[in-house]
A = this chain, B = another copy of it.
Amino acid sequence: MELLEQKILTEGKVLSESVLKVDSFLNHQIDPRLMKQIGEAFAHRFSDAGVTKVLTLESSGIAPAQMTGLSLGVPAIFARKRKSLTLNDGLYSAEVHSFTKNVTNEISVSKEYLSSEDTILILDDFLANGQAAKGLINLVQQSGATLAGVGIIIEKGFQDGGKQLREQGVRVESLATIASLNHHTVTFSKEGASV
């Protein structure tokens, strides 16, 4: 998605060979028009998948999930992150380890909003080692719902989460795929260059 790649090039901050900060339009400040285009892009890519709900993880996934749900005409759900197990009644939950922050969160979603009748599109802002996506897939599996696939805004193609998911047969669609962050420079791979 070209507008997204331009934003990453002009506003993204390469903090290391593995960390890209996009706080100015995605993770802290949001560019609403870009989010609208991102939502339309995901809706277009998964238009054939019979999606009944969009599932994401708080907080950065919420704006794109809202716009994708709006485009597809289906509800969006954001899984909650918690530090520790509290009341677990009525929740599907899974553990997600963040290597960036070195913390394990429990993520959960109410059983009321995921059912075996649903076809779920999972959305997330970044895909690196795939921990968050795997946790969300775990929630979908617990509910018995069908997984339409995983939509990712920025995939770090040099980490192996995307490869692992695709090898498991999961449909992964990334709007921008980064081949490398070496030398403080963002290099996109071809997959990311196409709309």
A183 within 8 A of B: no
Interface residues on chain A, size class: 20 to 34
With A and B bound together, what is the CA distance between A69 and B52 in angstroms? 26
With A and B bound together, what is the CA distance between A66 and B110 in angstroms? 24
How many copies of the polypeptide does the oligomer hold? 2
With contact pairs A58-B58, A58-B59, A59-B78 given, residues A66 and B113 touching in the complex (Cβ less than 8 Å): no
Chain B, residue nearest A83 (CB): B83
Chain B positions within 8 Å of A112 at CB level? 23-24
Pick 15 A–B contacts, CB within 8 A, sort by A.
Answer: A23-B113, A28-B110, A28-B113, A29-B76, A30-B62, A30-B65, A30-B76, A30-B78, A32-B67, A32-B70, A32-B76, A58-B58, A62-B63, A63-B63, A63-B76
A17 within 8 A of B: no
Interface of A toward B, CB cutoff 8 Å: 23-25, 28-33, 35-36, 53, 58-59, 62-63, 65-67, 69-70, 73-78, 80, 83, 109-110, 112-113
With A and B bound together, what is the CA distance between A63 and B25 in angstroms? 15
Interface of A is mostly: mixed
Q: Are A75 and B30 in contact (CB under 8 A)?
A: yes
Chain B, residue nearest A81 (CB): B59
- A115: shortest Cβ distance to chain B, in Å? 12
- A80: shortest Cβ distance to chain B, in Å? 7
With A and B bound together, what is the CA distance between A65 and B30 in angstroms? 9
Q: Which of A29, A74, A75, A80 has the most CB of B within 10 A?
A: A29
With A and B bound together, what is the CA distance between A181 and B85 in angstroms? 30
Chain B positions within 8 Å of A24 at CB level? 112-113
Q: Which residue in B29, B35, B59, B113 is a CB contact (below 8 Å) of A29?
A: B113
With A and B bound together, what is the CA distance between A24 and B114 in angstroms? 11
